[in-house]
Amino acid sequence: MPLMLDAAQKGATGVAPAHDGEVMIREVWPSVSIMPAAAALGQKLIRSIVLAPLGWFLLLPIYFLKILPFVAKRYTLTNRRLMIRRGLKATPSHEVSLDQFDDVRLVESSIDKFFRSATLEILSGSSVVLRLPAVPQADSFRRAVLDTRMAWAPHKG
């Protein structure tokens, strides 16, 4: 007879007990569109096909700049907060607790279909408490933030 586990004993991906402390749920690195002028020029060159290698070469330093140990920036979602972390040790430079915001707005004017990124604004009431520019696959990250807030700070939903 197979061993049957009840729901409390089964593991679920991305879920951790509250007593385990803070657990990372998702992390993204800003897109190269964080530098709009260079991204726009790179996009034009890449779309020209003939000049595409020049466009890639232009965007290459911007790509590596975002992951260099001392200047790296990333957006991290945990079971307790959403934060912008920077540098080699990934220390938080800005953060907001899951119970300190009401909504996550995708800034329509910032949507970049070529780089598949957009800016997200974290709202408390009508004021912006955190701004995340050039988030890759922004709608998916927005949904993850809202779902996490609903799971870990349900009184806000």
Q: Domain map of the chain by residue range? A: 26-156
Read off the pLDDT band of 1 (50, 70, 90): very low
| CA–CA distance, 116 with 15 (Å, rounded to integer) | 27
Q: What is the mean pLDDT of residues 112-138?
A: 95
54 pLDDT above the threshold of 70: yes
The CATH code of the domain at 26-156 is 2.30.29.30
- For the whole model, what pTM was predicted? 0.81
Which residues, in sequence order, are CB contacts of 51 under 8 Å at separation 6+? 45
In this structure, what token pair is assigned to residue 66? 């975002």
The pLDDT, as a whole number, for residue 27 is 94
Task: Say if residues 148 and 77 touch (Cβ distance below 8 Å).
Answer: yes
> Higher confidence at residue 54 or residue 156?
54
Q: For the segment 73-113, what is each residue's pLDDT rounded down to a tens digit? A: 999 999 999 999 998 888 899 999 999 999 999 999 999 99
